Amino acid sequence: MPDSVRRMLLDSTSVVICTHIRPDGDAIGSQLALAHFLEAQGITVHCINTDAAAPNLTWMPGAGALQTFDGSLAQRQLIDAADVIAIVDTNKLSRIGEVHTAVEASQAQRVLIDHHLEPEPGFDATFSRDTASSTGELIYEFIAGHDASVIDEAIATNLYVAIMTDTGSFRYSSVTPRVHDIIADLLRRGDLSPEPIHSAIYDTRTFAGLRLLSRSLDTLRVRYDGFVSYMLITRQMLDAAEASTDDAEGFVNYPLSMRGVQAALLFTETAKGVKISFRSKGDVAVNGWAKAFGGGGHRNASGVFIEGGLDDVVDAVLSAAPTHLDLPAGATAEATAPDEAPDPDLTADDEAYLSTLLNLQSDSPQ
Ligand code: 5GP
Ligand code: MN
C-alpha cells in the first residue's frame, strides 16, 4: 500500500467513507471494515452512500451506522468537516452517485482504494490494484500491515463478506493462495464460522424473486454457436412476479453456468432504459464490450446502463459481440433457444425404473 494513502488516513481526525451506487458485499464490507479500523485508531468516521445496502447485507457488523445520502445540510457539513474522504470499491468518483456533489464541494483530501481497471486520476492518494480479488483484500493489507491484532470479529466478518462476494465464493480467477491465506487469518482472528455468513448472504431469495427467476429463465437464449448466452428481465415480468430488481442479484450466473458458454448477459428493462450485466469465464474479457457502450467493470464482470427500448438494446449489444470477443470461426449471430426438453417417450430403462417405483408404492402399508 502506498505510504501516501496510509499516512493520509492515519494522520486524519475525521474521515468520511463513500462507496458506489447499489453497493455490493465488497463495497459495504470494505467500507465497514475500514470504518471499524479507523475508529479503533481514535479517528471519527462517517459512512455515507447514495444507496442503502441490499437487505442481505444489513446484518453486517456496523451496518446500522451507514447513512444514506439525503442531500441534507447535516450530511453536507459532515462531508465538509472531514479531513479525508475515502472512496472504496470504484474507480470513478461519479460512480458514488448523488453524494459526489457534496464530496466535490468539500475541501477534504480524497483517497481512492479500489481494484477496478483504470482508476480515475485526480485523487490526492490512490491505492489501486486491478489484480486484487476485491477491495476487501486491499483493506486487509492496509489493516494487517499496520496492526493485525486489531482484526476482531467485526472487521473479520466484513472482510470475509467482501472477499467472498467478489470472488463468487472463492472461485474466480482472481483467487490466489494469498487470498486463501487472508481468509484463514480472518477466520482465526475473528473466530468465524463461514457457513452462517454464506447463508446470511446467499440463502435470502424471496418467493417473488424465485418466481421472477422462473420467468426470466424462460427467456434464455444462446448466440454465436453457444459462445454467448443471455436472459431478459422485463418490467412486465417484475410486475407479474411482484419482484424488484434487487431480487435479481446473481441471476446472470444462470446463463453463464451453461455448458460451453463463455460470456453471458442479463438485460433488465427499466422505465428509462436497460441495465446490462456482463459476465465471462476465464480468459474471455467482457469489460471492453461494456465500455464500448459507456459502462465498465472488471474483465469477467462488467455492467452498463443504456437508454432505449429493450429490443433495440439487446440487438445493438449482441451484434457488437464479434468486435469485442474472440468468437469461434464461423460462429453465427443467430439466436437459438437451448436444446428442446428431452423426448417424453420413456426408454426401456425408464420404464423399468418407473415400475419399481409403482411396485414400491403398492407394497407400502396403507
Ligand atoms: P453488475 O452486473 O453486478 O451490476 O456489475 C458488475 C460490475 O460491473 C460492477 O462491479 C461494476 O464494476 C461494473 N459496472 C456495473 N454497472 C456499471 C456502469 O453502469 N458503469 C460502469 N463504469 N461500471 C459498471
Ligand atoms: Mn469490488
Query: Domain holding 158: CATH number?
Result: 3.90.1640.10
* Full DSSP string of 232-271: EE-HHHHHHHT--GGGGTTTTHHHHTSTT--EEEEEEE-S
Last residue of a domain, one of 150, 185, 202: 202
Is 359 contained in some domain? no
Q: Quick one: 47 and 109 in the same domain? A: yes
Ligand nearest to the CA of 117: 1
Q: Are 30 and 162 in contact (CB under 8 A)?
A: yes
User: Looking at the structure, do residues 211 and 196 belong to the same domain, yes or no?
Assistant: no
55 and 185 both lie in a single domain: yes
| Residue 343 reports pLDDT greater than 70 | no
The reply to whether 171 and 252 lie within a common domain is no
Atom 20, ligand 1: which residue's CA is nearest?
295
Whether residue 197 sits in one domain with residue 211: no
Ligand 1 nearest atom to the CA of residue 278, by list position = 2
Same domain, 51 and 64: yes
Residues 163 and 60 in one domain: yes
**C-beta of 76 in contact with ligand 1 (< 6 A):** no
Given a contact cutoff of 8 angstroms between Cβ atoms, the answer to whether 169 and 203 are in contact is no
* Same domain membership, residue 266 and residue 143: no
What is the C-alpha end-to-end distance of the chain, expressed in Å? 71
366 pLDDT higher than 80: no
Domain membership flag for residue 35: yes
- Average model confidence (pLDDT) for the chain? 94
pLDDT in tens, 91-131: 999 999 999 999 999 999 999 999 999 999 999 999 999 99
| Cα-to-centroid distance, 331 and ligand 1 (Å) | 27
The mean pLDDT of 251-258, rounded to a whole number, is: 98
Going from the Cα of 133 to the center of ligand 2, the distance in angstroms, rounded, reads: 8
pLDDT at 78 over 60: yes
d(CA 3, CA 1): 6
Domain count, the chain: 2
| Residue 210 vs residues 17, 124, 199, 252, 339: alpha-carbon distances, Å | 34, 45, 17, 14, 23
Residue recorded with cell 422462473: 214
Q: How confident is the model at residue 337 (pLDDT cuts 50, 70, 90)?
A: low
Q: How confident is the model at residue 156 (pLDDT cuts 50, 70, 90)?
A: very high
Q: Which of 174, 202, 230 is the last residue of a domain?
A: 202
Cα distances (angstroms) measured from residue 326 to each of 177, 280, 298:
30, 12, 17
Q: How far apart are CA 114 and CA 33, in angstroms?
A: 14
pLDDT at residue 365 in the model: 58
Q: Do 41 and 179 belong to one domain?
A: yes
The verdict on residue 212 lying in a domain is yes
Run of H or E residues at 278? strand 273-280
Whether residue 274 lies inside any domain: the answer is yes
pLDDT beyond 70 at 234: yes
Taking CA atoms only, the protein residue closest to ligand 1 atom 12 is 297
Q: Are 197 and 164 in contact (CB under 8 A)?
A: yes
Q: For residues 75 and 94, what is the distance between their CA atoms, to the nearest angstrom?
A: 18
* CATH at 265: 3.10.310.30
Same structural domain for residues 223 and 117? no
Phi-psi region of 59 (alpha: psi -120 to 50; beta: other; left: phi over 0): alpha
Least confident piece of the model among 14-28, 287-301, 321-335: 321-335
Q: What angle do CA 332, 232, 330 make, to 5 degrees?
A: 10
> What angle do the packed helices 3-10 and 135-147 form, to 10 degrees?
70
Residues 144 and 188 in one domain: yes
Model pLDDT, residue 344 = 61
pLDDT bracket for residue 358 (50, 70, 90): confident
Ligand 1 pocket member 254 (CB < 6 A): no
Which of 302, 307, 313, 317 for a ligand 1 pocket mutation test, highest count of atoms within 8 Å of Cβ? 302
- The closest alpha carbon to 257, from 168, 164, 327, 162, belongs to 168
Residue 356: inside a domain, yes or no? no
Distance, CA of 71 to chain centre: 26
Asked if residue 357 is part of any domain, the answer here is no
pLDDT confidence tier of residue 364, bands split at 50, 70 and 90 = low
Tell me which residue range forms the domain holding 197. 3-202
For residue 174, the ligand closest to its alpha carbon is 2
Taking the C-alpha atoms of residue 168 and residue 157, their distance in angstroms, rounded to an integer, is 16
In a domain, 355, yes or no: no
| DSSP 8-state assignment for residue 3 | H
Helices (H) and strands (E) in the chain, counts: 15, 12
Q: Is the CB of 119 under 6 A from ligand 1?
A: no
Q: Which residues are registered as beta bridge partners of 228?
A: 223, 263
Do residue 332 and residue 245 come from a single domain? yes
> Is the CB of residue 268 below 6 angstroms from any atom belonging to ligand 1?
no
Domain boundary, last residue among 133, 167, 202: 202
For residues 15 and 357, give the distance between their C-alpha atoms in angstroms, rounded to a whole number: 66
Q: Is 351 a member of any domain?
A: no
pLDDT of residue 247: 94
pTM of the model: 0.88
Distance CA 184, CA 192 (A): 10
